[in-house]
Chains A and B, each alone.
Chain A
């Protein structure tokens, strides 16, 4: 096991990793940018080190700064969290070259799964149904031909990244022509790689993902699914487990197929396979996330497994110590991403100073957040203030507990999306478990909030 881990991330996930280190009895150093000097993780850590300016390019995205910080503080491993360098195979490789361990899949595994398009082919060859799509697009003419073959509507997607950047829905050749260049330049700007591919767009689809863990000895388990269909502009807003979209037999079959394919393809460490479920209930693999997910707490609430601790153990070369029979998922859990955004300004992210802050409590209520009264939310990074996760024996009770918790939660000083969450909870489509990924964008977030306030 490691003796000391450098936490190369910020916000709530830095805190989450710090907590896992403490639970495991491992030392931890929080690496922070100048803008995060006052962050809770930096304050609570036994050790913290400033690695660069606010600009992430020179701090959380700077491999030399992070590795140098690990070296001078005597760490033997680096936890990259999510985002930033968490799935960067080049970074993982350089980390290893400095005799440090990257907490995540080994560099060669990351490399194998780096291209979304190639991963789709790889896992398709191991038995996963994939969504109809194209190979890498050479140019606009190629794109037009492929779109015709796949059939409109199609999504233009960057091969390198996630988070909805560079992604465009086009319904006809004319839209494709105008969107192609924009997607290419957005992908280039966001990921330094402008490779694009096409994917058939399923109207009214649901987003369901399977959590897996594989050790280097080939032991592999899944921990069920998460439904992330409540999205705004391709960004997840609410996640829940188990998915109301799947029957128990369909759920079991999807999880087992996903696990078999990913283990056969040589995956290692924590991973999440994302699927789209169409109106008929058929699942199509879309991509894999080779890291801990933002929404991991709901899986932890239902299975009782500390996923971050497990991730660290696997990276340290320990066996899973779990078989599929050991994993029992009970009850229902829902997570709400609490974001600093202004509902009056089309949910534009915003910074500011937190005034009063009160985290909700009660049975089955968990708050993962790095904010505190007086904390300045830096404007440089994402707008995530924290995650409220709620567990209850069944979905209806989970919704009731969630609403009580959201009413209790107090975040002063910045605008948040708490009211949007309450409005979604009160919406009949959500109560019926029938939300599709396009619902929020189709109806509009503002009408949702307005309806909830009535």
Chain B
């Protein structure tokens, strides 16, 4: 794990100093690449408000922003709604898709209503009403972790992050770049990681355990 154990030795040469700087950078890189995403996922899954980890000379503290729980619940609900999570085009009424009682959802799950999206898949949803901008470097199959920012929604010039609710693989896009989106709208499908880990093949299994785990 990252460490800063070099002695501040008296006769430190420039080469040693350069090495120290490089190791520091590497440590920070590892921190960003490995530790932080894992911590974010843990924090997201835990229901805790804050996590602090100490490792050698390093310390990382994560605090959940206000409203994060709400976003998580919204995501959970979205993924639990196996029926018709309409990818709404701007100007299309967002009506008729149920968010009501569970039995109603269950009824629709039985196939009363044709689903536009694959049932049971988790999705990253819009944090606000505005114009959607996905991150351009993500493609289908990219592995993401809970808490990763995969784009933003422009709300009158202010960016609001689109955050991944669960660990998983990027699935198909449900909204285009530059498209007007509403609050809670499903933007990117996610293949949950558990399913990937179990089967090794994200597409193989019919019924992922996505619903409850967001």
> Is there an interface contact between A73 and B180, defined as CB atoms closer than 8 Å?
yes
Contact A65 B183 (CB under 8 A): yes
Q: CB-defined interface of A40-64 with B at 8 Å, one 1/0 digit per residue?
A: 0011011111111100001100001
Interface members, chain B 94-121 (any A CB < 8 Å): 94-101
Q: How far is the CB of B130 from chain A (nearest CB, A)?
A: 5
Say if the beta carbon of B44 comes within 8 Å of chain A.
no
Contact residue among A34, A38, A45, A73 (Cβ-Cβ distance under 8 Å from B183) = A34
Choose the segment among B85-93, B141-149, B165-173, B200-208 that binds chain A (4+ C-beta atoms closer than 8 Å).
B85-93
CB-based contact A37/B97 at 8 Å? yes
Q: How far is the CB of B127 from chain A (nearest CB, A)?
A: 9
Interface residue B70 (Cβ < 8 Å from any Cβ of A): yes
Q: Do A73 and B91 touch across chains, with their CB atoms under 8 A apart?
A: yes
Q: Is the contact region of chain B dominated by helix, strand, or loop, or is it mixed? A: loop
Q: Tell me, in angstroms, the Cα distance from A43 to B100 when the chains sit together.
A: 14
Q: A37 to B184, alpha carbons, bound, how many Å?
A: 11
Q: Does B128 contact A (CB under 8 A)?
A: yes
Contact yes or no, A38 B180, CB < 8 A: no
> Chain B: which residue is nearest A58 at the CB level?
B67
* Complex contacts, B180 vs chain A, CB 8 Å: 72-73
Report the separation of the CA atoms of residues A434 and B180 in the bound assembly, to the nearest whole angstrom: 55
In the assembled complex, A98 has its CB within 8 A of some CB on chain B: yes
Chain B residue contacts of A353, Cβ below 8 A: 101
Q: Give B149-192 as 1s and 0s: 1 = Cβ < 8 Å from A's Cβ atoms.
A: 00000011010000000000000000000001111110000000
User: Across the interface, which residues of B come within 8 angstroms of A53, CB to CB?
Assistant: 70, 74, 183-184
User: Would you call B129 an interface residue if the criterion is a C-beta within 8 Å of the partner chain's C-beta atoms?
Assistant: yes
Kindly supply a per-residue 1/0 record for chain A positions 345-358, scoring 1 wherever the CB is within 8 Å of any chain B CB and 0 otherwise: 00000000100000
Contact present for B128 and A48 (CB under 8 Å): no
Taking a contact as CB atoms under 8 Å apart, the answer to whether B99 and A52 are in contact is no
Q: Is the CB of B131 closer than 8 A to any CB of chain A?
A: yes
Q: Are B183 and A47 in contact (CB under 8 A)?
A: no
| In the bound complex, CA of A276 to CA of B159 (Å) | 49
Question: Do A42 and B90 form a contact, CB below 8 Å, given A34-B183, A64-B156, A72-B130?
Answer: no
5 contacts between A and B (CB under 8 A): A48-B94, A48-B95, A50-B182, A68-B155, A376-B100
Task: Please give me the 5 A-B residue pairs with the lowest Cβ-Cβ distance, nearest first.
Answer: A72-B180, A50-B182, A50-B183, A69-B129, A48-B93
